[in-house]
Amino acid sequence: MKKEEFLFCLKGASFVALKFAERYVKDKLVTDFKYNVILTVAGNIVGVKQFEIYPEEKDIIKLDLTDNEVVDLLYRNNKIPIWIDISVLKSSRKSTTFNLLCSGKYSGDKDDYYYNENGSGPFGVKSPNFPLNYKEGKKFRL
């Protein structure tokens, strides 16, 4: 995947995640996006040579990034994480912030991306975190 394609996928997944979150939250979600990137370390990869990993990135979190900063951080050696879970975290009058939970396995092969079949590359849209005692069908504040 080229860098421009990755940026396109990030923007597309952001809009889909925003629309998905609107089903659940009362907050007004605006289209100026910010991102928190949560890097994870790959689990058992013994004998797997197709992925690039970065073991030094255990528990690293980068906050309040722009879409271009996300791409600059995650696009390495023409490879990206094989899955990135995206969900709305919070909203302000100026921006909507997403969490990006990223796989520690990087690949340049689209066939390795978990969500590629649905057209979103590595991005899997997840719901916002539900509050305790959440009741189905009732919207909540982030």
State both tokens at 48. Answer: 């797997």
- In residues, how long is the chain? 142
Q: Tell me, what DSSP letter sits at residue 140?
A: B
Residues 6+ apart with CB under 8 A from 70: 10, 35, 37, 100
Mean predicted confidence (pLDDT) in 106-134: 93
> What are the two backbone dihedrals, phi and then psi, of residue 45, each rounded to the nearest 5 degrees?
-125, 20
Mean predicted confidence (pLDDT) in 117-132: 93
Average model confidence (pLDDT) across the chain: 92
Of 81, 88, 87, 76, residue with least CA distance to 122: 81
> What are the two backbone dihedrals, phi and then psi, of residue 70, each rounded to the nearest 5 degrees?
-60, -50
* In the predicted structure, residue 123 carries a pLDDT above the cut 60: yes
* In the predicted structure, residue 99 carries a pLDDT above the cut 60: yes
Strand ranges, E, within the chain: 33-39, 52-53, 61-65, 80-81, 84-91, 96-102, 105-107, 123-125
Using pLDDT thresholds of 50, 70 and 90, give the confidence band for residue 118: confident
Sign of CA pseudo-dihedral 110, 115, 120, 125: negative
Distance CA 53, CA 75 (A): 13
In tens, the pLDDT along 27-41 reads 999 999 999 999 988
In tens, the pLDDT along 64-73 reads 999 999 999 9
* In the predicted structure, residue 47 carries a pLDDT above the cut 60: no
